[in-house]
């Protein structure tokens, strides 16, 4: 007896189940074969928004907060408005709440239902963020998952898992590394990574 289809699944011509990843791959192959899409251009476009444009915006927000206490206060009080001050707004960025990592609290972000993500400041969500294993495990065993990702959090530090949704998207304000207090915003920006803004990495001093 067959079971009900997952909402993301469809049947092919032979009655086999196919998920969104396979459908996307098939569509990309079809468009490429017809000369409608250049795969090199597409890869560059995706890489730009996944690792450059979006995360760079987030890094600018954090660097501003590290160097401007008044801006930091506004950012923690009203994230969306403070981020918009720097010109970063748009779809998926309407309701951003910023939470600060401290010596006693470490925040990590997940979207357990799908992959809600603050695109204006982080770009496209990485593959691991959308992976069902991450979405399920980081809620149950966050300290272990973070350790596996290279982010060690002391036993004396409370880990708070923030679940993003259509109503609110979370952004982590990481701790500023010791010894960087005198650096300018421009010098701090290259240190700030996308993963630190999700809470799965620490920021190291240069």
Report the CATH number at residue 134. 3.90.330.10
Give yes or no: 115 in active site: yes
Pairing of strands 96-100, 17-18: unpaired
Q: Is residue 8 part of a domain?
A: no
Q: Is residue 90 part of a domain?
A: yes
Per-residue pLDDT band at 166 (split at 50, 70, 90): confident
Number of structural domains found in the chain: 1
Q: What is d(CA 34, CA 2) in angstroms, rounded to the nearest whole number?
A: 36
Q: Is residue 203 part of a domain?
A: no
According to DSSP, residue 97 is labeled E
% pLDDT > 90, the chain = 66
Q: Is residue 26 part of a domain?
A: no
According to DSSP, residue 167 is labeled S
* Domain of 88, in residue numbers: 39-198
Contact 168, 116 (CB under 8 A): no
Q: Which has the higher per-residue pLDDT, 105 or 4?
A: 105
Q: Of the listed 14, 104, 115, 204, which one is catalytic?
A: 115
Stretch 62-70: mean pLDDT: 98
* 108-139 as b/e: b if 16+ CB within 10 A: bbbbbeebbbbbbbbbbbbeebeeeebbeebe
Q: Of the listed 2, 14, 111, 165, which one is catalytic?
A: 111
What residue numbers does the annotated binding site for Fe(3+) cover? 111, 114-116
Q: What is d(CA 66, CA 181) in angstroms, rounded to the nearest whole number?
A: 8
Per-residue pLDDT band at 92 (split at 50, 70, 90): confident
Instruction: Quickly tell me which residue has 């987030």 as its tokens.
Output: 58
Q: Of the listed 2, 116, 147, 164, which one is catalytic?
A: 116
Of 63-72, 85-94, 188-197, the one with minimum mean pLDDT is: 85-94
Q: Is residue 20 part of a domain?
A: no
Q: What is d(CA 161, CA 144) in angstroms, rounded to the nearest whole number?
A: 13
For 106-141, how does the pLDDT look when each residue is reduced to its tens digit (9 = 90+)? 999 999 998 899 999 998 889 999 999 999 999 999
């Amino acid at each position: 007896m067959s079971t009900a289809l997952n909402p993301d699944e469809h049947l092919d011509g032979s009655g086999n189940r196919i998920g969104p990843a396979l459908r996307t791959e098939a569509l990309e192959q079809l468009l490429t074969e017809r000369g409608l899409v250049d795969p090199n251009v597409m890869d560059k476009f995706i890489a730009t928004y996944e690792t450059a444009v979006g995360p760079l915006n987030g890094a600018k927000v954090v660097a501003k907060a590290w160097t401007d206490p008044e801006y930091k206060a506004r950012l923690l009080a009203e994230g969306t408005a403070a981020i918009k001050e720097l010109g970063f707004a748009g779809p998926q960025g309407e309701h951003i709440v910023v939470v600060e990592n401290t010596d006693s609290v470490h925040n990590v972000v997940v979207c357990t239902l799908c992959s809600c993500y603050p695109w204006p400041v982080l770009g496209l969500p990485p593959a691991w963020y959308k992976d069902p294993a991450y979405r399920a495990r980081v809620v149950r065993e966050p300290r272990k998952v973070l350790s596996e990702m290279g982010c060690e959090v002391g036993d004396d530090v409370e880990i708070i898992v923030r679940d993003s949704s259509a109503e609110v998207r979370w952004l982590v304000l990481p701790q500023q590394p010791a010894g960087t207090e005198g650096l300018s915003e421009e010098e701090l920006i290259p240190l700030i990574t996308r993963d630190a803004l999700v809470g799965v990495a620490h920021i190291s001093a240069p």
